[in-house]
């Protein structure tokens, strides 16, 4: 077998694969013999079909299958071994196949059109400084935060009946299926809350899932990622939890900040003020990441095989989009592709990898957010349930993109950290209202 790469431009190439009879004959002969042993043809005992008949009836199919397997493996290995930065997929030149005479031809030539990304480098020294903001918060932000803490920072109680904002524990059933779970009332549509509000322990609630929950993700989390679950279910209320209003005392200080962290209201206010600053710092960092991505896209030039990409997009979408529709959205496609190439280059240079445990931790964080419990400390039973839901979410065979989605979130976060660690930053001090105006202008 011989493989050669012919570049017509820096971003367009043709990969030519030449296959001689010696490359495939041994395996094709073996496959024919194996087929002869298994062939069930009227008039012949198993294993006694003449080889000439097997060759006549199945030889072409076996040859084509073997050649296709060889081609797929050879093309991918060549791309990997030569570190070709391809975009899209290799596109077979159909005219080569149309010329083949599978009955008489012994040697074959196949061509693949390739789209390549132009050579580029991510040089942070050449990227202009990105602006970030040191946000100064005042008494208004502190007092608003303390008010919210007082409303939701009290002890967890188990009331007799459900109110809006509660967490409702119980067991779902539909036919033979059942699942213990928890339903945060914030996951229920406003018009469906009447089904829950006022319900007492041991009450059986009957409702339609799609009419009750705010979205499909809420259904998945509440039902333990039960696949294909639709329609009416029963839910037996087994427990209700609610966080009552708090008093400004040592119990609140310890609950919010940790035991013994502060011992007076003055100290508590000072610590909360620092937390507010930390929260605004996270918002500023988020905006910084957006601006840093924009700076990289604007200043890292990558040549792309545009005509190849348009042709490839038409082909892989199999008539779903017209060339005109693809043309209309092509700038967005190029931007996404360039950003993927930039991220991969940064990942390679910084040896960025993602482990399964990191993906699981991110998924558990997402589920805690759905339940309104950011962070741990929710109790052993709840932690075990979150672990079970997270594992089910990642391993759902009917939704295999779940794992990829969470993997990409962890990967992107690591890329962002690497960018911020390397890019030049220009810091400006502003107040909360100024920052809100800047953030709103980006929406």
Are 172 and 208 contacting, i.e. CB atoms less than 8 angstroms apart?
no
- Residue 403: its pLDDT value, please? 94
- Residue 373: its pLDDT value, please? 54
Compute the distance between CA of residue 423 and CA of residue 285 in angstroms, rounded to an integer.
13
Note the pLDDT tens digit of each residue in 257-299: 888 889 999 999 999 998 888 888 888 988 999 999 999 999 9
Which of the pair, 37 or 168, is modelled with greater confidence? 168
Contacts of 8 (CB under 8 A, 6+ apart): 14
Per-residue pLDDT for 61 more than 50?
yes
Closest listed residue to residue 263, CA positions, set 282, 249, 284: 249
Are 166 and 125 contacting, i.e. CB atoms less than 8 angstroms apart?
no
The answer to which of 8-12, 57-61, 300-304, 355-359 has the lowest mean pLDDT is 57-61
Query: In 399-438, which ranges are E strands?
Result: 425-431
Compute the distance between CA of residue 427 and CA of residue 131 in angstroms, rounded to an integer.
6
Per-residue pLDDT for 45 more than 80?
no
The domain spans of the chain are: 2-116, 124-137+279-303+350-441, 156-243
Per-residue pLDDT for 378 more than 70?
no
Q: Name the band, by pLDDT with cuts 50, 70 and 90, for residue 118.
A: very high
Closest listed residue to residue 388, CA positions, set 226, 224, 227, 177: 224
- How far is Cα of residue 46 from the mean position of the Cα atoms in its chain? 51
Q: Name the band, by pLDDT with cuts 50, 70 and 90, for residue 372.
A: low
Are 282 and 61 contacting, i.e. CB atoms less than 8 angstroms apart?
no
Q: Name the band, by pLDDT with cuts 50, 70 and 90, for residue 337.
A: very high
Average pLDDT score over residue span 240-267:
87
- How far is Cα of residue 80 from the mean position of the Cα atoms in its chain? 24
Which of the pair, 319 or 237, is modelled with greater confidence? 237
- Residue 110: its pLDDT value, please? 94
Query: Average pLDDT of the chain?
Result: 89
- Residue 374: its pLDDT value, please? 45
Compute the distance between CA of residue 168 and CA of residue 175 in angstroms, rounded to an integer.
22
Q: Name the band, by pLDDT with cuts 50, 70 and 90, for residue 25.
A: very high
Query: What is the layout of strands, in order, in the sheet containing 86-92?
Result: 2-9, 12-19, 108-116, 86-92
Compute the distance between CA of residue 157 and CA of residue 417 in angstroms, rounded to an integer.
40
CATH of domain 2-116: 3.30.70.1050
Question: Is 3.10.50 the CATH classification of the domain at 156-243?
Answer: yes
In the block, residue with structure tokens 């339940």? 371
Query: In 10-58, which ranges are E strands?
Result: 12-19
Q: Percent of the chain at pLDDT above 90?
A: 58
- Give the three-class secondary structure for 229: coil
Work out the burial of residue 236: count CB atoms within 10 Å of its CB; fewer than 13 is exposed, 13-18 middle, 19 or more buried: middle
Note the pLDDT tens digit of each residue in 79-106: 999 999 999 999 999 888 888 999 889 9
The angle that helices 306-316 and 330-349 make with each other, rounded to 10 degrees, is 100
Which of the pair, 295 or 52, is modelled with greater confidence? 295
Compute the distance between CA of residue 62 and CA of residue 94 in angstroms, rounded to an integer.
20
Compute the distance between CA of residue 330 and CA of residue 290 in angstroms, rounded to an integer.
22
> What are the phi and psi torsion angles at 326 (to 5°)?
-65, -40
pTM for this prediction: 0.65
The angle that helices 330-349 and 401-422 make with each other, rounded to 10 degrees, is 70
- Residue 320: its pLDDT value, please? 83
| Number of Cβ within a 10 Å radius of residue 166 | 22
Pairing of strands 156-157, 232-243: antiparallel
- Residue 376: its pLDDT value, please? 45
Residue 16 β-bridge partners: 4, 111
Are 303 and 338 contacting, i.e. CB atoms less than 8 angstroms apart?
no
- Residue 257: its pLDDT value, please? 85
């Amino acid at each position: 077998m011989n493989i050669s790469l012919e570049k017509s431009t820096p971003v367009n190439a043709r990969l030519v694969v030449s296959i001689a009879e010696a490359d495939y004959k041994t395996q094709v002969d073996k496959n024919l013999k194996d087929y002869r042993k298994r062939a069930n043809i009227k008039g012949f005992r198993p294993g006694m079909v003449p080889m000439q008949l097997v060759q006549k009836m199945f030889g072409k199919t076996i040859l084509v299958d073997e050649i296709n397997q060889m081609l797929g493996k050879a093309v991918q290995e060549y791309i990997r071994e030569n570190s070709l930065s391809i975009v899209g997929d290799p596109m077979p030149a159909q005219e080569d196949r149309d010329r083949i005479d599978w009955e008489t031809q012994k040697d074959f030539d196949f061509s693949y059109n390739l789209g390549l990304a132009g050579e580029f480098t991510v040089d942070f020294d050449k990227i202009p400084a990105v602006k970030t903001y040191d946000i100064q918060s005042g008494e208004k932000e502190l007092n608003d935060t303390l008010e919210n803490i007082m409303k939701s920072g009290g002890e967890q109680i188990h009331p007799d009946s459900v109110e809006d904002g509660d967490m409702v524990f119980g067991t779902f059933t539909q036919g033979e299926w059942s699942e213990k779970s928890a339903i945060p009332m914030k996951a229920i549509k406003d018009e469906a809350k009447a089904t829950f509000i006022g319900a007492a322990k041991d009450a059986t609630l009957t409702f339609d899932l799609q009419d009750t929950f705010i979205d499909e993700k809420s259904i998945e989390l509440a039902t333990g990622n039960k696949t294909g679950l639709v329609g009416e279910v029963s839910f037996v209320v087994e427990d209700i939890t609610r966080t009552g209003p708090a008093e400004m005392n040592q119990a609140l200080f310890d609950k919010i900040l940790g035991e013994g962290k502060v011992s007076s209201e003055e100290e508590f206010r000072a610590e909360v003020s620092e937390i507010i600053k930390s929260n605004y710092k996270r918002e500023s960092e988020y905006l910084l990441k957006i601006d840093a991505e924009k700076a990289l896209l604007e200043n890292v030039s990558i040549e792309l095989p545009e005509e190849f990409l348009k042709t490839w997009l038409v082909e892989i979408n199999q008539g779903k989009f017209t060339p005109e529709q693809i043309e209309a959205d092509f700038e967005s496609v190029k931007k996404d592709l360039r950003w993927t190439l930039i991220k991969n280059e940064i990942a390679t240079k910084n040896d960025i990898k993602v482990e399964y445990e990191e993906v699981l931790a991110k998924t558990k964080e997402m589920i805690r957010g759905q339940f309104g419990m950011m962070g741990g400390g929710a109790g052993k039973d709840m932690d075990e349930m979150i672990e079970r839901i997270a594992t089910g979410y990642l391993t759902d065979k009917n939704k295999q993109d779940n794992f990829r989605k969470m993997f990409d979130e962890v990967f992107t976060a690591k890329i962002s950290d690497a960018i911020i660690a390397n890019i030049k930053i220009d810091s400006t001090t502003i107040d909360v209202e100024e920052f809100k105006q800047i953030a709103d202008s980006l929406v």
